[in-house]
Structure 1
């Protein structure tokens, strides 16, 4: 059994040059280039921390878990720990970057926990009003980050980061991608969804049945699906299948395992069933997806 997290893909640790004693740092792409070009890896790698990036100028592209996104002024990216990324910034690109550890953010309402979920969107293109508002939020965070700490600096940064993440939540809802375009879910639905996602990380290789997850969470399948619809606007089955498809794509791109072996590792007893599942989720066969990834290297 190959655990994706153990694959030999370089992991960039959290080693901020400024204020290393706290779990948040801010920099820019131009600053990274000035300090040392190796600080901007362009080969596939993972981060051991979260990174929110707002492109301010220039163009380029980034690949996050096998999906390519064009980058230009107004592109907003959220890279989560252990996502495989490959950054290809153009020489004219500049961007603001907020890096923070998994334990630094304040605990917000339960549904906010899904924002750092690898199944959620990682890229948004902001329109003028969204961009202006988000830049003002980053300005406040930057000003506090650069201010000498007088005793409450870390607490203020935690709250300003919470404001930043809440604005991303609003962007998700306004663009209708990955979050339900409705009232915020109830506390009960939010907590159940987070418990479901934790259980899914442990069990997606062994079961894709909503009934099994509902039993593990001591609720009915209908209750679980209602929570998923409330939080992410889709069914529990769709969330399960999305997680299995993500792992399949990672293994197809970053290992040389035969398709049949990948199918068995993800709980499929027949490789043909895996092929049908993958084609339904990704709109191409596993072999075609792997060849396409190789051709793009």
Structure 2
């Protein structure tokens, strides 16, 4: 399995803004573009922190794990640690930016327990109502961030960030209403998080639902209920989505032959990998590699 941390893709470290030692920083897209070298932002790079951006001015587009998203005003983008990202900024681009470390947020329920889950959506175009609600919460967070700390500033920022994250989760659930409306039980939530961790470890060796259920000491039916409740889809679909994500990353960000990628992802025959990838992505691995690398040019 490829360790993406070892690839020649630069990593942007978290740097506190204004308040050293704090695990959260607020800034704007314009300020980031003024501080960071343009050649860094427009080439593939990774962040070692979370970054949520609400675009307010025409901002071009943004690539996350080889998928390119338009970022017009009212667009919300969440980039997670170690995702491969690339910016395509437009003239006059601007937006509000929240950056925070993985350790900073409050501990919340199981539904929010996988903040760094790369299978969760990264891009939303907010409705007028969603945008107004998100901006109200964001303005409180910005106001508290600018206020001098009188002893409880960090706790206030953690609670306000929790409200922001819950708003994002609410938007996500409105876009994917197949899951349960109420919060699933704690036992189901714990099972889902264990499954996602096991999936990150084992996607290259098995794609069988039964193997994951055995590893988690549960029945396939119990695992299916947890996946449907938290992700709104089947266990098999989540497994295949994780394999397809890794395949896209390897095709775009390495020069490995397609046959080698197939073997790394557990396919005994490259033809089977080709059929799987075409079914998930609607194009062959070779065509995807050529198209993605052409799109990645600034």
Tell me the TM-score normalized by structure 1. Answer: 0.96
Question: What residue is the counterpart of 1:221 in the other structure?
Answer: 220
Q: How many residue pairs were aligned?
A: 296
Contact 1:32–1:40 (CA<8 Å) still a contact in 2? no
Partner SS, residue 19 of structure 1: coil
C-alpha deviation, 1:100, in angstroms = 0.3
Separation (CA, whole Å) in 2 of partners of 1:36 and 1:278:
36
Q: What is the CA–CA distance in structure 2 between the aligned matches of 1:14 and 1:39, rounded to whole Å? A: 19
Q: Does 1:259 align with 2:258?
A: yes
Matches of 1:64 and 1:116, distance apart in 2: 14
Task: Write out per-residue CA displacement over residues 115-152 of structure 1, whole angstroms, 9 at most, x where no aligned residue.
Answer: 43111110000111111110111100011111111111
State whether residues 4 and 251 of structure 1, in contact with CA within 8 Å, keep that contact through their aligned partners in structure 2.
Answer: no
**Separation in 2 of the partners of 1:142 and 1:129?**
20
Q: Distance in 2 between matches of 1:105 and 1:187?
A: 19
- 1:74 is matched with 74
Aligned mates of 1:34, 1:241 — CA distance in 2: 40
Q: Is the 8 A contact 2:179 2:230 kept in 1?
A: yes
Give RMSD over aligned pairs: 1.5
1:142 correspondence with 2:160: no
Aligned to 1:85: 85
Instruction: Tell me the residue number matched to 2:183.
Output: 184
Task: Decide whether the 8 Å contact of 1:53 with 1:95 is kept in 2.
Answer: yes
Cα distance in 2 between the residues matched to 1:37 and 1:4: 23
User: Distance in 1 between the 2:226 and 2:138 partners?
Assistant: 32
Q: Distance in 2 between matches of 1:110 and 1:289?
A: 35
Cα distance between partner residues in 2 of 1:244 and 1:6: 20
- Partner Cα distance (1:88, 1:145) in 2: 28
Deviation at 1:161, TM superposition (A): 0.5
TM normalised by structure 2 equals: 0.95
* Bigger mean CA offset, 180-189 vs 75-84: 180-189
Q: Deviations for 1:56-76, whole angstroms, at most 9, x for unmatched residues?
A: 112310011111100111000
